[in-house]
Amino acid sequence: MTPAELRALIRTVPDFPVPGVQFRDITTLLSHGEGFAACVGHLAERADAAGAELVAGMEARGFIFGAGVAAKLRIGFLPVRKPGKLPVAAIGIDYDLEYGKDRLEIDPGAVQPGQRVVIVDDLVATGGTALAAASLLRQAGAVVEFVIDLPDLGGAARLREAGLRVDALIDFPGD
């Protein structure tokens, strides 16, 4: 399936979570076996072309796509977790949300010095979470990759300004 065909599988839910927001719901893509497999395949091709040696995915939807890409490429998967979820001493980064703060953590032993890591997530909006994850992995040569870009929210541009490569399969401009 082409990215345009995959785009058609993503449901738009108006006014969620607040009035005026057009929520891009990937559950309709995930439940479509051929579409989900094609999406993972496209992402895996891009991650392979970027020289991925490890795939990182941010909690929670990044786990779905990132683990699928890692399995397809037969390379490891690194979960980028919310605080307190790892059973070992973790390294982390605090970052700003639109209304507050959050934190991401990784197992420092899961990344080898100089290892090329590709971050895969479902969507880039403002880019704050992705930028935080990339900051944790930057010494490993992170490349950022997403399924959906909402370009009007500026997240991909923000990541590019930070020196990261951003590649999205699908975008929804103007929404």
Domain 51-171 has CATH 3.40.50.2020: yes
**Buried (b) or exposed (e) across 37-56, using 16+ Cβ within 10 A?**
ebbbebbbebbeebebbbbb
The residue-averaged pLDDT of 75-104 equals 91
The residue-averaged pLDDT of 155-174 equals 86
| 61 is known as an active-site residue | yes
pLDDT above 90: residue 145? no
Distance in angstroms (rounded) separating the CA atoms of residues 102 and 116: 25
10 Cα distance to chain centroid: 16
Q: What is the model's pTM?
A: 0.90
The active-site residue out of 5, 7, 24, 61 is 61
End-to-end CA distance of the chain: 24
Q: Residue 175: its pLDDT value, please?
A: 59
| 98 is known as an active-site residue | yes
List the domain boundaries for the chain.
Answer: 51-171
Percent of the chain with pLDDT over 70: 94
